[in-house]
């Protein structure tokens, strides 16, 4: 059973470009979290999704950031018009509908130059 | 406002001794607590959890203690091994309130000295 898969592992974007981060949850998991870790900081909650639904996006910046988890395919975190402050590690985690522990992917390290 | 606090950014312990990592929380709605371990350039790995109906949960060398009145939990690792050297994150959620959001502390970097 493959774990949570995130790609790409590393992503470099110039200021103003779009960044698209993908997360395939563990098989059978229908819930996905996205977290961001800035240097020297803990993990900050961004958004919690079920298939085709955003359940809690209270941690998402109001502009430029969006997330989706379609019926088919991976969850996508999209950052438009990236700025240097978006440089961070972005982690995705999944859990089953009745689960209690979230399992994390290896993260995508976004660098904005 | 930091709802989950890990006040020690780092901890050094001799191999074979006990490591005690502490975590405090402020939100009384939190009813489920987890510890994650993270190596550099990897994602966090689930370690152990505890529900608020318990005060202790043990799994091998790892034991988590919960003191609800003090809003405090701790992770004990005994005996500590060099491979335990990593950053440990405490996390909490308020499942009884219908929230599955995990709120993380900033982490404690544990170094186990051979």
Q: What is the pLDDT of residue B88?
A: 97
* Shortest CA gap A89–chain B (Å): 9
Q: What is the pLDDT of residue A95?
A: 86
Cα angle A66-A92-A81, degrees, rounded to a multiple of 5: 30
Interface residues on B facing A, Cβ-Cβ cutoff 8 A: 6, 32, 34, 36, 41-46, 49, 89, 91, 95, 99-107
The whole-angstrom separation of Cα B89 and Cα A59 is 19
Contact list, A55 vs chain B (CB under 8 Å): 100
Q: What is the pLDDT of residues B73-108, one digit of tens each?
A: 999 999 999 999 999 999 998 877 776 778 899 999
Instruction: Enter the tokens of residue A89.
Output: 């590690």
Q: What percent of chain A has pLDDT over 70?
A: 96
Q: What is the pLDDT of residue B40?
A: 87
Q: In chain B, which residue's Cα lies nearest the Cα of A50?
A: B100
Instruction: Enter the tokens of residue B74.
Output: 């701790």
Q: What is the pLDDT of residues A7-61, one digit of tens each?
A: 999 999 999 999 999 999 998 888 999 999 987 778 899 999 998 899 889 899 9
């Amino acid at each position: 059973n493959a774990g949570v898969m995130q790609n790409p592992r590393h992503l470099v974007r110039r200021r103003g470009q779009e960044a698209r981060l993908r997360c395939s949850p563990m098989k059978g998991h229908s819930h996905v979290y996205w977290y961001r870790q800035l240097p020297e900081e803990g993990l900050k909650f961004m958004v919690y999704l079920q298939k085709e639904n955003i359940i809690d996006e209270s941690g998402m910046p109001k502009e430029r950031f969006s997330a989706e988890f379609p019926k088919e395919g991976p969850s996508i975190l999209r950052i438009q018009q990236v700025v240097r402050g978006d440089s961070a590690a972005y982690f995705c985690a999944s859990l089953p509908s009745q689960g209690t522990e979230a399992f994390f992917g290896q993260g995508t390290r976004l660098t904005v130059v | 406002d930091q709802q989950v606090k890990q006040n020690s950014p780092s901890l050094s312990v001799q191999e074979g001794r006990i490591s005690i990592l502490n975590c405090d929380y402020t939100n009384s709605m939190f009813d489920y607590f987890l510890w994650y371990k993270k190596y550099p350039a990897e994602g966090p790995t689930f370690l152990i959890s505890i529900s608020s109906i318990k005060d202790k949960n043990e799994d091998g060398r790892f034991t988590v203690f919960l003191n609800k009145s003090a809003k405090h939990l701790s992770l004990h690792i005994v005996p500590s091994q060099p491979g335990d050297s990593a950053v440990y994150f405490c996390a909490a959620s308020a499942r009884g309130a219908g929230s599955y959001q995990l709120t993380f502390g900033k982490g404690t970097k544990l170094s186990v000295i051979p």
